[in-house]
A and B are shown apart, each in its own frame.
Chain A
Amino acid sequence: MLQVENLQKSFADFKAVDGADLRVGQGDLVAVIGPNGAGKTTLFNLITGHLQPDKGRILFKGEDISHLPAHQVCRKGIARSFQIANIFPRLTVFRNVQVSVLSQKKLSRTMFRPAHRMVVEETRQILERVGLNDQQLALAGSLSHGDKRILEIAIALGNEPELLILDEPTAGMSPDETAATMALVQRLAREQGLTILFCEHDMDVVFNVATSIMVMQQGRTILQATPEEVRQNITVQEAYLGGA
Chain B
Amino acid sequence: METSHTLAALTSQLLVGLSRAMILFIVSSGLSFILGVLRVPNVAHGSLYMIGAFAAHTIATAFDGSVAAFWLAMFCAPLIVAVISLVAERLLFCHLYEREHLMLLLFTFALMLILGDLTKMTWGADYRSIVAPPFLQGSIPVLGTAFPRYNLFLLLVGPLVAVGLWLLSSKTKFGKIARAAAVDREMVGAIGINVSWVFAFAFVLGCLLAGLGGALVSPTISITLGMDHSIIIEAFLIVTIGGLGNIWGAMVGSLIFGITQSVGVMVLPQFAIVFPYLAVVIILTLKPTGLLKSVW
Question: Do A and B share a direct contact in the complex (Cβ within 8 angstroms)?
Answer: no
